[in-house]
């Protein structure tokens, strides 16, 4: 039976590569992992979750995505001038299976979303959503994701694929962003159910974008 999420999965990968054109296969694998399994693997206890969130915000850096000069990406073109060279990747959709997205900590740093609201939304998202199983994730990676990604030109594809295959052999699936992704895009976000930030959508558009 044809995979019912194929179009959404393809769009999710396309969106990531448009925002982060130097993403490696490792980063796209991580995106799929998050879309399937959610944030549960990093939640040990609620106290530590808030502690690390506060620490990350207090350490403060500009959490930005650097678009290629002259990018025609609609997201980039619509940004206000002050964000065009160092563009905050504020919300990255991960909704191939569930209504979740990566919400940048830049939204806390810029006083768009209060830290406590952000934390509560993250916890609620973890508690209320029923994510896919590891077996489903493994099947989707091999039968659906890889055929889509093989059509993309991604640097270091074969080396990354070999590394991922080794993870599967060891039954270890968690992974960090690639070194180039961390250096260029400074990813710092949490996976959150989009319904919890509906009230902030207008404020985000007004703050960063030309068209409201």
Summarize pLDDT for 65-102 with one digit per residue, the tens: 777 667 788 888 899 988 887 778 899 999 999 999 99
DSSP-derived 3-state class of residue 27: helix
Among the residue ranges 58-67, 75-84, 167-176, the one predicted with the least confidence is: 58-67
Bridge partner residues of 79 (DSSP)? 209
Q: Would you kindly state where each structural domain of the chain is located, as residue ranges? A: 6-208
| Main-chain phi, psi angles of 73, to 5 degrees | -55, 130
| pLDDT tens profile 102-159 | 999 999 999 999 999 999 999 999 888 888 999 999 999 999 999 999 998 899 999 9
* Tokens (6 digits) for 209: 């974008």
Q: What's 139-188 look like in SS3? A: HHHHHHHHHHHCCCCCCCHHHHHHHHHHHHHCCCCCCCCCHHHHHHHCCC
Mean pLDDT of 43-55: 84
């Amino acid at each position: 039976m044809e995979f019912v999420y194929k179009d959404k999965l393809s769009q999710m990968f396309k969106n990531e590569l448009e925002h982060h054109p130097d993403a490696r296969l490792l980063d796209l694998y991580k995106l799929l992992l998050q879309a399937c399994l959610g944030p549960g693997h990093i939640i040990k206890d609620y106290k530590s979750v808030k502690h690390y969130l506060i620490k990350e915000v207090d350490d403060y850096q500009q959490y930005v995505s650097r678009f290629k000069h002259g990018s025609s990406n609609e997201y980039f073109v619509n940004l206000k001038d002050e964000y065009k060279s160092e563009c905050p990747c504020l919300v990255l959709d991960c909704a191939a299976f569930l209504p979740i997205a990566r919400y940048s900590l830049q939204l806390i740093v810029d006083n768009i979303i209060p830290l406590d609201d952000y934390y509560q939304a993250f916890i609620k998202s973890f508690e209320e959503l029923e994510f896919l199983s590891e077996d489903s994730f493994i099947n989707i990676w091999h039968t659906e994701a890889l055929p889509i990604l093989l059509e993309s030109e991604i640097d270091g594809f074969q080396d990354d694929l070999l590394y991922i295959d080794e993870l599967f052999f060891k039954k270890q699936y968690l992974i960090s962003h690639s070194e180039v992704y961390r250096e260029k895009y400074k990813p710092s976000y949490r996976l959150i159910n989009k319904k919890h930030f509906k009230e902030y959508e207008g404020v985000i558009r007004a703050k960063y974008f030309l068209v409201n």
